[in-house]
């Protein structure tokens, strides 16, 4: 029996329910997305979903979650995201005027034109995929994929688009709490504060790794038991399949509250060319790098973030004015706004906002 199409009243009723729920912010960023998914499950015919919380600047994931049984696996989805680019890639979606799209609407109803749908989604029994980039002027906060038991329509996309102004402030608030709420690292963790290395083969299996790398991987929260955290898989795929061969860098936070920079680079095998192996280096993230994400989440403008970086490097207001070609009075206005938005009263307090990060040199 065919599903009865939703009416305008159905959309409005669910949107009001979600708005009321998000008006009392959930305890976590996962909670915000789960609120949307649970409330709209019947309306959209959701069969499964997965999402990534992201570094707002790079758009790369910092944590991953899922509900139900989404089609395929992270490893499979990365093939269509990087190796065989398909429609509605998240990196592309975040730059669109409307960061909400479905395979059905993107292909004019010819869903099998998408290799991702034809080879991964349809065989798993789902009828469509909706992707959402939770993006604003401060960055990308989360990337969500929803799988459904029916083809989606323009009305469905409009409904989800109208939820973004409700959800993004909640996601930003949760991101700020995540970055600023980490406890200080333990003494035992500080014993291994240098770089660590692991080598991955073309199937993303660990070929070799030092002991510190394995300890750090064990401290990365993941929704399922996998050898590699999702973030490592993302930077590895981007480095391995990127057209220009550039390295890929992202931030990672471990369960003990520390932040790391993760850099992946494609290796070669000498005369035989590309081996498919990737080297991943993890090292403590500088406070300024971690702080940038927190400052974006707190709503600091690009200029305010520039001023903050210079403040933490020890520059005077006069020197900052000269460096940015603005007046000292404007710098003072920025400093006042920075302190108000971050809730601190001095320069030293700025760096202590992120206890798990390495202090700036």
In a domain, 358, yes or no: no
Of the candidates 180, 198, 214, which is a domain's last residue? 180
- Please compute the mean of the pLDDT values over residues 100-123 and round it to a whole number: 96
Q: Which residue has the higher pLDDT, 27 or 335?
A: 335
**Percentage of the chain modeled with pLDDT above 90:** 55
Q: Can you give the pTM of this predicted structure?
A: 0.87
Q: Which residue has the higher pLDDT, 230 or 297?
A: 297
In whole numbers, what is the pLDDT of the chain averaged over residues?
87
In a domain, 104, yes or no: yes
In a domain, 361, yes or no: no
Q: What is the CATH number of the domain that holds 98?
A: 3.30.450.40
Q: How many domains does the chain have?
A: 3
Q: Are 174 and 200 part of one and the same domain?
A: no
Give me the DSSP letters along 103-158.
Answer: HHHHTTT-GGGSHHIIIIIGGGT--EEEEEEEEETTEEEEEEEEEESS---HHHHH
Q: Are 243 and 300 part of one and the same domain?
A: no
- Please compute the mean of the pLDDT values over residues 227-233 and round it to a whole number: 79
- Please compute the mean of the pLDDT values over residues 126-147 and round it to a whole number: 96
Cβ neighbors of 40 (< 8 A, separation 6 or more) are 14, 18, 46, 159, 160
Q: Which domain holds residue 124?
A: 8-180
d(CA 349, CA 335): 13
- Please compute the mean of the pLDDT values over residues 277-304 and round it to a whole number: 90
pLDDT digits (tens, 9 = 90+) for 310-325: 988 889 999 999 999 9
Q: What is the CATH number of the domain that holds 242?
A: 3.30.450.20
d(CA 269, CA 176): 42
What confidence score (pLDDT) does residue 187 get? Answer: 37
Q: What is the CATH number of the domain that holds 313?
A: 1.10.10.10
Q: Which range has the worst mean pLDDT, 167-181, 222-236, 245-259?
A: 222-236
3-class DSSP state for residue 45? coil
What confidence score (pLDDT) does residue 246 get? Answer: 76
d(CA 273, CA 266): 11
Instruction: List the alpha helices (DSSP H) in 196-252.
Output: 211-218, 230-241
Banded model confidence at residue 253, pLDDT cuts 50, 70, 90: confident
Of the candidates 150, 180, 210, which is a domain's last residue? 180
């Amino acid at each position: 029996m065919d599903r009865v199409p939703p009416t305008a009243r159905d959309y409005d009723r669910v949107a009001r329910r979600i708005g009321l729920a998000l008006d009392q912010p959930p305890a976590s960023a996962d909670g915000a997305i789960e609120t949307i998914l649970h409330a709209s499950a019947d309306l959209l015919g959701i069969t499964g979903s997965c999402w990534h919380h992201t570094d707002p600047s790079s758009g790369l994931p910092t944590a991953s979650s899922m509900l139900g049984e989404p089609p395929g696996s992270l490893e499979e989805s990365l093939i269509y995201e990087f190796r065989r680019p398909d429609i509605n890639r998240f990196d592309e979606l975040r730059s669109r005027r409307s960061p909400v799209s479905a395979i059905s609407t993107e292909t004019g109803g010819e869903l099998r034109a998408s290799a991702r749908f034809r080879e991964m989604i349809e065989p798993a029994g789902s009828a469509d995929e909706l992707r959402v980039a939770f993006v604003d002027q401060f960055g990308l906060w989360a990337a969500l994929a929803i799988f459904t038991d029916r083809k989606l329509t323009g009305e469905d996309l409009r409904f989800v688009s109208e939820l973004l102004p409700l959800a993004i402030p909640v996601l930003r608030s949760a991101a700020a709490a995540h970055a600023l709420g980490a406890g200080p690292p333990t003494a035992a963790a500080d014993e291994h504060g240098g770089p660590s290395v692991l080598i991955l083969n073309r199937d993303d299996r660990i070929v070799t790794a030092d002991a510190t790398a394995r300890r750090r991987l064990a401290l990365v929260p993941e929704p399922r038991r996998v050898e590699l955290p999702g973030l490592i898989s993302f930077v590895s795929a981007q480095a391995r399949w990127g057209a220009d061969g550039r390295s890929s860098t992202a931030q990672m936070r471990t369960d003990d509250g520390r932040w790391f920079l993760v850099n992946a680079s494609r290796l070669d095998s000498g005369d035989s060319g590309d081996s498919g192996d990737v080297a991943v280096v993890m090292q403590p993230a500088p406070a300024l790098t971690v702080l940038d994400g927190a400052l974006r989440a707190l709503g600091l403008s690009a200029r305010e973030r520039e001023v903050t970086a210079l403040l933490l490097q020890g520059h005077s207001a006069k020197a900052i004015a000269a460096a940015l070609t603005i007046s000292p009075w404007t710098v003072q206005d920025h400093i006042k706004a920075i302190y108000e938005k971050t809730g601190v009263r001095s320069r030293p307090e700025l760096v202590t906002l992120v206890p798990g990060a390495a202090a700036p040199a």
